Structure 1
């Protein structure tokens, strides 16, 4: 896949009011997975681009393995993918509706999704995490398993089918040249307006019910779950600390906590943390300082990432990374790339996972890693 694959957009996202469909960029910045200096210089490059015109736009991806450049090389697996890719536009595209999903063979799976791990393998990794937890090595670790398939056609058409079946507030599409990333993430990472920064971590999950009554029962179960509230609060505290390094003293607030939010195939507990960025810190600098999001690593962050590297069999790629967009007017938003698929060289991969704590039930955690993504994969297997 290359940028000559137009007429499909190379990036698409919802800015909270409307869809933005972005075609050929004026420039694309690519940061190699080994280039720490280029990643650290990226915020200044993006700011310089945006300052040169009144309606400019930057849309970018940060891969999970970029964390090795921001924390420590032992935090992640080696990855064949870039650390970051940013499309730069001289004008922000006008708002536009998404075109309807194609109902033909313009995208088709040629093999069904298959897990890289057996159930026994996943449970063995979970038991290893719980041994670390019992030893006091960490408090929470986010474990994910990968499903892979083969496909023909264009990933844009897969994403359109996915969004039609499972809309989500941070659904996005991004073609980075050698592949594409697309998904229906429900999770905001950092949003910045003026100097106010907001993050909305997700921790705590239940499937949607088959009836309104079952849906309410499962939602109430989640709201009353001491385990899920404690898990959520761990990540809130981690993000309070992350933002505390960047924000004015005394400006950090965590409110509201433990809101129930429902999405097409799952319901979650969501909390909100906000603060006032110190003068001189740009939105993308803030994102890199907090990256990756604590909800998809665990706590403490560095040790959790080291355990993830030990137990997960390969790199996550752009899964659990972030998509961000920023305009010349300073508006900035970003997501955590969960419920996200990656297409490259005819292979399509999807991850599902969850946070493991000391009282996690192994069977329930395995089931959660499935129910978060089963309907997404099924939408593409039709």
Structure 2
């Protein structure tokens, strides 16, 4: 392991990271995780850059969780330079867990899951850099990199569903709730467009500047990119402790300090937001109980209010201690997909999601993160994220919210736009005219 201080390198940490990301993009696979030094309960992601695929998960549909378990076990017992696995789990893995299907439009063609064991790991710990690699000269290679300054060019995002249809669907979902089919359902819509020119590093830095969050990440898998400003943790494992932190409840930020405080207070005291959050807390408690030691599931914090650059969020923290006969992959499998992105009861609302949403979610509302050996992992919820297929020149992002019987369709639509504000702003900076029909 190589350990150096940034003052010794003669450039700032941020300048070095930019060079390292550009070098990483020369490889077929890389993943960058950044906590942005946000003060967050149980901390955010490790600040780490994983570069190159020493080995990749080769999985077949219908056995992904078993294949992931085998892959993880193989890495932790091999002589590779590290025992990390990095990647993502797509929402439609629900079809492996339950008897469900997904037949909606898929514009990007992301595989259901992708993981790799990196060839190189760069850990950023304050002003210290630690490099894990069997290759010599990595530091010098990165320092010699010339940073690419080209701008991306993206067309204006188009909605997959009209506003009128969105409002109608919210009303229909409220009818399902009234009829007793479910209590709460997370309904989402997609926006999509074309990529004329792509600089993923520049896009990530722009999004992270607009919306720095504790579970930010940039991932590349061949032609597929994930650019995420996620504020939400799906699940973290530290030793035998599991931590889940669902978000339910949103208010926009205001530049006026008094108004901003009013919005924050309004969120904390809103009975509807509390009811939504409580439903998901109960769902998460039940999910964690499936793999927990008896009596170990605890609600550590309920209705916590946390402020991010674009929004105030209501976040609760639930913890558990896993049973001795349960491994890391099974903990994830038994709780996937996360309740904050489905609703309750989980199976029924996933059927309704398939019916009323008109696009596949793909990696959206799945989870991106890493296994640090078999004893720890950390995964976000893939929201506030841009997904790009460089080969086809297409991008998409999705946004949604929890629908309850008390939901007002127009306000739900407005909340979607608030949550997507950072990505809309990002694309506006890179925007070019849409291609003519048929081109």
- TM-score between the two structures when normalised by the length of structure 2: 0.80
- 1-side partners of 2:358 and 2:374: how far apart? 42
Corresponding residue of 1:60: 87
Cα 1:115/1:209, change in 2 over 3 Å: same
2:157 to 95, 113, 116: 113
2:49 equivalent to 1:21: yes
State how far apart, in whole Å, the 2-side matches of 1:308 and 1:365 are.
16
Asked if 1:82 corresponds to 2:111, the answer is: yes
Helix, strand or coil for the counterpart of 1:334? strand
1:149 aligns with 2:177: no
Whether the 8 Å CA contact 1:171–1:185 is kept in 2: the answer is yes
Gaps of 5+ in 2: 1-22, 36-43, 130-141, 430-439
1:133 aligns with 2:177: yes
Q: CA deviation at 1:96?
A: 7.1
Correspondent of 1:174 among 210, 219, 223: 219
Q: 1:285 aligns with which of 330, 338, 352?
A: 330
> Which moved further from structure 2: 175-184 or 359-368?
175-184
The CA distance in 2 between the partners of 1:107 and 1:131, in whole Å, is 43
Distance in structure 2 (CA, Å) of the matches to 1:140 and 1:191: 25
1:11 and 2:56 aligned:
no
Sort the Cα spacing of 1:93 and 1:104 in 2 relative to 1 into closer, same or farther, 3 A.
closer
Q: Which moved more, 1:36-45 or 1:111-120?
A: 36-45
Summarize deviations over 1:200-229 as a string: whole Å, max 9, x none. Answer: 000011011121111110000000000000
Partner of 1:73: 100
Question: Is the Cα contact below 8 Å between 1:155 and 1:343 reproduced in 2?
Answer: no
Q: From the superposition, tell whether residues 17 and 230 of structure 1 become closer, same or farther in structure 2 (CA, over 3 Å).
A: closer
For residue 42 of structure 1, the aligned residue among 58, 62, 68 is 68
Give CA-to-partner distance per residue, 1:279-314, whole Å, 9 cap, x none: 132222211211100000010111111000001101
Whether 1:360 and 2:407 are equivalent positions in the alignment is: yes
Determine if contact 2:50/2:120 at 8 Å carries over to the other structure.
no
**In structure 2, what is the Cα distance between the partners aligned to 1:56 and 1:353?**
35
Offset from partner CA, 1:337-379 (integer Å, 9 cap, x none): 0101110121111111100000011111010011100232212
Q: How does 1:166-315 map to 2 (within 5 A)?
A: 166-315=211-360
1:58-115, Cα deviation, whole Å (9 max, x unpaired): 101111111111112236747543221001125543327899xx89533221x11121
Q: Larger C-alpha radius of gyration, 1 or 2?
A: 2
CA distance 1:78–1:116, shift in 2 (3 Å): closer
Q: Confirm whether residue 95 of structure 1 aligns to residue 124 of structure 2.
A: yes
Q: For residues 327 and 76 of structure 1, do their structure 2 counterparts lie closer, same or farther at Cα, with a shift above 3 Å needed?
A: farther
Cα distance in 2 for partners of 1:103, 1:45 equals 35
Paired residues of 2:24 and 2:30 also in contact (CA < 8 A): no
Q: Kindly provide the CA deviation profile for residues 126-148 of structure 1, in whole angstroms up to 9, marking residues without a partner as x.
A: 11101100100000000111111
Q: For residue 320 of structure 2, give the secondary structure of its aligned residue in structure 1.
A: strand
The number of residue pairs the alignment matches comes to 375
Contact 2:192 2:397 in 1 (8 A): yes
Name 2:417's counterpart in structure 1.
370
Deviation at 1:328, TM superposition (A): 2.6
Q: Distance in 2 between matches of 1:91 and 1:298?
A: 39
Consecutive unaligned residues of structure 1, counting only runs of 5 or more, are: none
SS in 2 for 1:192: strand
TM-score by length of 1: 0.92
Cα pair 1:13 1:171 within 8 Å, conserved: yes
Q: Residues 211 and 30 of structure 1: is their aligned pair in 2 closer, same or farther, counting only changes over 3 Å?
A: farther
CA offset digits 1:184-208 (Å, max 9, x no partner): 0000011011100010000011011
